């Protein structure tokens, strides 16, 4: 059996990809391998069960799951795997992602989903927290995470500039 990369990025729809690709791009910067796929809790429930029940045996270590609206995907995945699941509430058209956020964050005690911010910041931070989990047993990745933060710190100017 082909061993999967450490991170799975799953999303409920193609329409989530413009947000979730920020997670993918952040993992690429950190040189963390991932697999991205569309798994809908509502439209492809059998694909969801197949993915979530096999995720650990397939070799994934961490799952990033993004969804919008009635966003059941991260919670349903978490119900079917012991792997850490980080949920990204995708910004919905109707309610600006507040529906997504509340759907994902309000898990009952016992089945956790680590919930990030709505939209692109959440996607970026999901990648960073996934990398931080992997870095617990990967010193070279821990060094790359330190370097990422150092670059970010160095990029912040001391004085504000007029931009107009």
Is residue 137 marked as binding?
no
Mark the segment that binds ligand RP5 (CB under 6 A) among 11-19, 52-60, 78-86, 143-151: 11-19
Q: What is the enclosing helix (H) or strand (E) of 7?
A: strand 7-11
CA 85 to each of CA 42, 46, 116, 132, 147: distance values in angstroms, whole numbers, following the listed order: 19, 19, 11, 13, 25
Binding mask of the shown chain, residues 87 to 116, with x at each position contacting ligand RP5 by CB under 6 A = ---x--------------------------
Distance CA 122, CA 154 (A): 22
Least Å distance between CB 133 and ligand RP5?
23
Least Å distance between CB 25 and ligand RP5?
19
Is residue 13 marked as binding?
yes
Question: What three-state secondary structure class fits 90?
Answer: strand
* Contact indicator for 40, 74 with CB cutoff of 8 Å: no
* Contact indicator for 71, 100 with CB cutoff of 8 Å: yes
Binding mask of the shown chain, residues 41 to 80, with x at each position contacting ligand RP5 by CB under 6 A = -x------------------------xxx-----------
Question: What three-state secondary structure class fits 79?
Answer: helix
Task: State which residue, 90 or 135, has the beta carbon closest to ligand RP5.
Answer: 90
Count the neighbouring beta carbons within 10 Å of the beta carbon of residue 92: 21
Q: Which residues bind ligand RP5 (CB under 6 A)?
A: 12-13, 15-16, 40, 42, 67-69, 90
Q: Which residues are annotated as a binding site for substrate?
A: 13, 16, 43
């Amino acid at each position: 059996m082909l061993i999967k990369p450490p991170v799975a990025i799953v999303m409920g729809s193609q329409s989530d990809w413009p947000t979730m690709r920020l997670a993918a791009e952040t993992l690429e910067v950190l040189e963390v391998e991932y697999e991205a796929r569309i798994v809908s809790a509502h439209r492809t429930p059998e694909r969801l069960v197949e993915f979530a029940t096999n995720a650990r045996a397939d070799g994934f270590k961490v799952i990033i799951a993004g969804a919008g609206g009635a966003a059941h995907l991260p919670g349903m995945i978490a119900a079917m795997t012991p792997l850490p699941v980080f949920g990204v509430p995708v910004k919905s058209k109707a309610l600006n992602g507040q529906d997504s956020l509340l759907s994902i964050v309000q898990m009952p005690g016992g089945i956790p989903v680590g919930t990030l911010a709505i939209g692109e910041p959440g996607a970026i931070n999901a990648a960073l927290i996934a990398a931080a989990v992997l870095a617990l047993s990967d010193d070279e990745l821990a060094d790359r995470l330190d370097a990422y933060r150092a670059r970010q710190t160095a990029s912040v100017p001391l004085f504000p500039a007029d931009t107009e």
